[in-house]
Structure formats: structure tokens, C-alpha cells
Chains A and B, each alone.
Chain A
């Protein structure tokens, strides 16, 4: 039953995973070709060149990686904790707080942290984005673990597994598909919101958008925006590949 039902969706997923990188290449390559094939004036050349494009893209990726690392390090253990018997009752509170983090505009969080610390730089950009994109992983960790059939936990306990072992070998592996789905959402949120990090001098592709907007430079604005979109799609694609690779066999 599971095997036959799983097949069509699996085929749909793999088709999407093949098409998406092609679209990304066409979009990113197209916009660069469009920008560099036309005449660029001096100011444009100062902001739009191979070195700056590479650097801003790398910065953007660094921000995203740092955000995801923080989210995984915080949200997964927190999610596990909030499904344990003694601390389960705190789950609504934690979800509520995370909801506030996501509901508040990311730009507001960045500015608030800047005002509170009176500092700028990489981490002042990363931390608010992490708070903003924490919720999907946290919620899905909790949902994934709660979703495990109680009969399986009973069977595991009945065989003589300790609670820690039940968590490691039964609950977490069965929650992995949920956690990965949450992580994919977090990735997309993080890579999108990272365009705002230029506000606190944390770099990223947002700088092109800012520069283009201020100087009324259409070309720079479009290049920055399209590259940010392409990067978001690429990261989403990576998340999709990760789900296929790391999901447990036997569950599909």
C-alpha cells in the first residue's frame, strides 16, 4: 500500500528537483548577461563587478548558514524538551513566544536589536533573523515527535529500551521528515530575510537592492533582487534534496 502510494509523489518530487536548478541557472545567468551586455556607467561599475557580486553572495550565504545553525541548535533540542513528560505543559508557551518572533516584522527585530545593543555587524544581523525563522523547526519537531504512534513507544519500552534510547532510535528518526520540512521553510525565511541585514552592516545581497534604490539605478536594483530570489530558490532546492536524502527508508 505504502509502496504504490509513495511512487507518484516521489516522481513528482524528483521532477521538481531536476527542473528547479535549471530555472535558477536561467534566472541568475540571464540577469547577469542582461546587466553586463549593456553599457554600465562608472558608479554602476563600482557596485556591480565580479568581486562585489561574489562577496555579497558569500556574505548572504554565511548569514543563512549561521541562522540555520542557530535555529537547529536551539529549536530541535527545545522541541524535544517540550515533548518530554515533565516539560510538555510548557509547549504552548514556547510556541506562543516563537509565534511572536515570527509575527513581528523581521526589519523591526533587526532595528530593535541594533537600538538595544547600539552595535552593528554580522551577529546583529544574524540573531534577529534566527529568531524570526525559528518557529517552523520548533513546531515541526514537536509535531513530529507527538505524531509517533504511542503503540511504538510502548513496544520500545516493553522491549527494555531506556527513555533516552527510545528518543534516539524511535522518536527522533520518525520525526525527521517533519523536522526536515520545517528546516526547509526556515531556510527560505532566512535567505529572504537576510536581504535586510545590510541595515546593520552585516552585508548580503540586500546591499545591491539598497544601492539601486537610493541611486535610482535600475540595473543594480534588478540584479540584486533577481540574485536574492535565485539564491532563495537554490536554498529551497537544497532543502528538497536533503529531505530526499535524509528521510528514513521504510517510511515512504
Chain B
């Protein structure tokens, strides 16, 4: 390692991007492709441009790295006009990942990932180090993959290499144009999770273009819902947009399942969990019965000695039990604290119960969550966004 500029630390490395009255009119076309768009994209956050095809969202993104030059208006990156530098130099400081990866088929994975460092004239050894580091970052074993050609990779692996290439020179800004549009749904979901994990680590300013609202909700800290001419229909957090769509067009774009989508935004660990009365199976039933009686719970939970939930027992039966090592009903359908509320709901529905046990990553008891908790959380989200007034 020759310098300390390479990424990997937890500080916010992103910078803010401001679009001010940006327009693009193509010669011979009456209507502007992008019509006086103003947006402030926060530093170190993922902003998703979402909208129907042809609404100008890609054009808007491509004006940031000047693959398309705006007809009027200004774009500043970290306070500097993006026309201060020549376009090629500017682009070397902005990561760029596109649909179907855009990897060069005649270059190895290592050569592809090293594209921008080579343009920046890094030393060979530093590029090689960086390539290995980036491949590890996106979950590909460097020894196995660096010498392969793109044709020898699956679609998902190609996308990972595409992301590694975009990040190789540690740019503060990353532009992603439907990067996961050409892979199957399962691979797409895992790539999305991977991007969330990367962003938690790297804190880049990411501009992500998609026409898939679910993807926008999943990835975006902020979502810009764009209409014709790239007009900003709504620009807010996913929660706020789901809770309070600005108009009928946005509501139509969200679809009928706004509430279900809202449940994907919160993790089980983020909400207040219920607490059942619990006992280790080595404890005496009498003492447990006393505790249960005082809590007046209908059901209680027996844990094993390392704190993992074993069985539900009825509160009024505990007193008659000889010991806690048998009896009751096994605990099924537990959810982890990392699960989304939507997954918790699915768990509840699939076991046809009103309450389920929440465990931490090691499987130890953390609390309970029920239908009522989910409804309460949804109500809270709705109220908080409706009270804040109209964001549009």
C-alpha cells in the first residue's frame, strides 16, 4: 500500500451533487428530454431516479458525468461546476456501472477492473493490489477470477465485476444505470443486498437509475420519482413516498401494495418488541408459574440453557407441570432481528399465529412480535409522515 487514499475506512467518502435548472433539448425535437430539473443529492447517500421508460431519468444521470452535455443549467459536484474539468478527467473521478455490465470481452477480469487506475497512470503493483482488493470487496476470489474473461462468468458475476470496476479508483460518486436489469430475480436480489452492504461500508454518493419501484424502495435513501421530461413528481425518503404519495401518478407507480412495501423498510430489530415471560428449562415450574401469574400472560416461553427458545407453554398449565423439560408446543417460525417486517408478517401468516418469537443472529431469544405490533408500526409511520405536512 503506497498511499492512504484507497477506500475501506468508514468515513463518508461521498460528496453532494446539485442539479440546478438542468435541461436537455435534442436538436430537432420540440419537447425537452429533460426540462429544468433541480435536485440536491445528499453526500454519502443512495438516491434512486425511478420513473417509466423514456421519462429522461437516464439522460438526467448521464449529464452528471457529461456523457450528455446539458443544454442549460448547471450541475455541481462537491460545490464545483462539472464543466470545470475536461469531460474525460471528470469521468475518471466518477464510477460508472451500466446494464449488462459493459465489461470489455477481450480483457480479463483484472484488466477490466483496472481500467480507471490505468487511465490514472497508477503503478502496476498498486493496480494489481487494488484489483484483488476490489474483487474481494464484491465477493469474488481474486485467485480464481482475476485471469478469467467475461464470457467465463455468470451474469451475476459479470455485474459484480462491473461494480468492482466502477469502484476501483475509489471515486466519491457512483452512477449506476439499471445495473441489475439484465439478471434473474434471485440474482438481482442478492446483488441488491450486496450493494446495500457495500454502501454501508463505503458511503459513496450513489445515483441509481431504475424503472422498478421495488428496487428503488429497497436501495434508496432518497427516491426521486420522475415523470415526463424528467419532472420531479416527488423527492423524498421511501417511507414518506409510500406513506404519502404526492399525486395520483406517484400512487399509481407505487402500486396497490404500498403498505406491504412499507413493511420492507423496517427491520424487526428496529421496532419495540413485546416481551413474554420466559424461563430456562432447568428452572422449577413453581417459581415460573408464580412469575407467569403475576404477568397475567396467556402464553409463556421456555428457553434452553443458552437462551434459545424451545416451547410455548400455557400460563395456567405451568403450575401442574412436573418440570420444564417437556410439554407445551414447539416454537416454530421464529424471525431474526435482521428480518424485514414484511418477512415477519410472512412468518406469522405461514404459521397462522398472532405472535412469533424474535431471535438474535445466534438464535437466542430477544422478544416477540405480533400482528398488532406490525399494524402499530405502520400506523406510526403513516402518522409521522402525514403530520410533517406535504413534502411536494
Residues of A within 8 A of B (CB): 1-3, 151-152, 154-162, 165, 169-170, 173-174, 248-251
Residue contact B104 to A3, C-beta cutoff 8 Å: no
Most buried by B among A3, A158, A170, A248: A158
Are the CB atoms of A156 and B104 closer together than 8 Å?
Answer: yes
Pick from A155, A159, A250: contact of B149, CB under 8 Å: A250
* B89: A residues at CB distance < 8 A: 160
B249 to chain A, nearest CB (A): 30
Q: How many Å lie between the Cα of A162 and that of B88 in the bound state?
A: 6
Complex Cα spacing A170 to B104, Å? 7
In the complex, are the beta carbons of A174 and B106 less than 8 A apart? yes
Please choose the segment from B18-26, B95-103, B196-204, B288-296 that sits at the chain A interface, where 4 or more of its residues have CB less than 8 A away.
B95-103
| A-contact bits for B165-196, CB 8 A (1 contact / 0 none) | 10000000001000000000000000000000
Q: What chain A residues lie within 8 Å of B116 (beta carbons)?
A: 159-160
CB distance from A120 to the nearest CB of B (A): 46
Contact among A152, A174, A250 for B102, CB-based, below 8 A: A152
What are 5 A-B residue pairs whose CB atoms fall within 8 Å in the complex? Answer: A151-B99, A152-B102, A155-B98, A156-B115, A174-B105
With a cutoff of 8 Å between Cβ atoms, the chain B residues found around residue A170 in the complex are 104
The answer to the question of B92 belonging to the interface, with a C-beta cut-off of 8 Å to chain A, is yes
> Top 10 nearest A-B pairs by Cβ distance?
A155-B102, A250-B149, A160-B92, A160-B91, A158-B96, A248-B106, A2-B151, A160-B88, A173-B106, A250-B106
- Is B107 engaged at the interface, CB distance under 8 Å to the other chain? yes
Residues of A near B165 (CB, < 8 A) are 159
Q: Are B91 and A158 in contact (CB under 8 A)?
A: yes
Q: Is B72 part of the binding interface, using a Cβ–Cβ cutoff of 8 Å? A: no
Instruction: Please tell me if the beta carbons of B119 and A159 are within 8 angstroms of each other in the complex.
Output: yes
Residues of chain A with a CB closer than 8 A to B151's CB:
1-3, 250-251
* CB contact under 8 A between A249 and B106, given known A158-B65, A158-B98, A159-B115: yes
CA distance A1 to B92 in the complex (A): 33
CB distance from B63 to the nearest CB of A (A): 12
A152-B104, A158-B67 given; name 13 further pairs at CB < 8 Å: A1-B151, A3-B152, A152-B102, A154-B102, A155-B102, A158-B65, A159-B91, A159-B115, A159-B165, A162-B88, A249-B106, A251-B106, A251-B151
| B152 closest partner in A (C-beta) | A3
Tell me which residues across on chain B come within 8 A of A1, comparing CB atoms: 151
Cβ of B103 to closest chain A Cβ, rounded Å:
8
Complex CA–CA separation, A31 to B376 (angstroms) = 97
List, in ascending order, chain A residues with CB within 8 A of B175's CB: 158
- Nearest residue (CB) in A for B120 is A160
Complex CA gap A34/B94 in Å reads 72
CA distance A250 to B161 in the complex (A): 16
Report the separation of the CA atoms of residues A158 and B108 in the bound assembly, to the nearest whole angstrom: 19
Distance, CA A156 to CA B112, complexed state (A):
10
A157–B108 contact, CB under 8 A? no
CB within 8 Å of A: which of B120-160? 149-152
Most buried by A among B103, B150, B151: B151
Residues from chain B with Cβ under 8 Å of A250 in the complex: 105-108, 149-151
- Write the nearest CB–CB distance from B117 to chain A, whole angstroms: 10
How far is the CB of B57 from the nearest CB of chain A, in Å?
16
Contacts of A151 in B (CB 8 A): 98-100, 102
Q: Are A249 and B119 in contact, CB atoms less than 8 angstroms apart? A: no
> Smallest Cβ distance from A167 to chain B, in angstroms?
13
Residues of A within 8 A of B106 (CB): 173-174, 248-251
Q: Find chain A residues with CB under 8 A from B92 CB.
A: 159-160
Contacts of B104 in A (CB 8 A): 152, 155-156, 169-170
Bound CA–CA A169/B91 (angstroms)? 17
Residue of A nearest to B108 (CB): A250
- Among candidates A157, A162, A169, A251, residue contacting B67 with C-beta atoms closer than 8 Å: A157
Contact of A251 with B105 at beta-carbon distance under 8 Å, contacts A159-B165, A160-B89, A161-B119 already known: yes
Q: Which residues of B contact A165 (CB under 8 A)?
A: 119
A239 and B102 CA atoms in complex are apart in Å by: 31
Q: How far is the CA of A151 from the CA of B158 in the complex (A)?
A: 14
CA distance A160 to B93 in the complex (A): 8
Cβ contacts B229-257/A at 8 Å (1 or 0 each): 00000000000000000000000000000
User: Do A160 and B98 form a contact, CB below 8 Å, given A3-B152, A250-B150?
Assistant: no
Closest to A151 in B: B102
Q: Are B149 and A249 in contact (CB under 8 A)?
A: yes
How many angstroms from the CA of A148 to the CA of B96 in the assembled complex?
19
Question: Could you tell me the distance between the alpha carbons of A1 and B67 in the complex, rounded to whole angstroms?
Answer: 33
Distance (Å) between the CB of B204 and the closest chain A CB? Answer: 16
A169 / chain B contacts, CB cutoff of 8 Å: 104
CB-CB under 8 A from A161, the residues of chain B are 88, 115, 119
For the complex, give the distance between the alpha carbons of A237 and B55 in Å. Answer: 54
CA distance A160 to B104 in the complex (A): 14
Residues from chain B with Cβ under 8 Å of A156 in the complex: 104, 115
Chain A residues in 8 Å Cβ range of B119:
159-161, 165
Assembly CA distance A156 to B99 (angstroms): 14
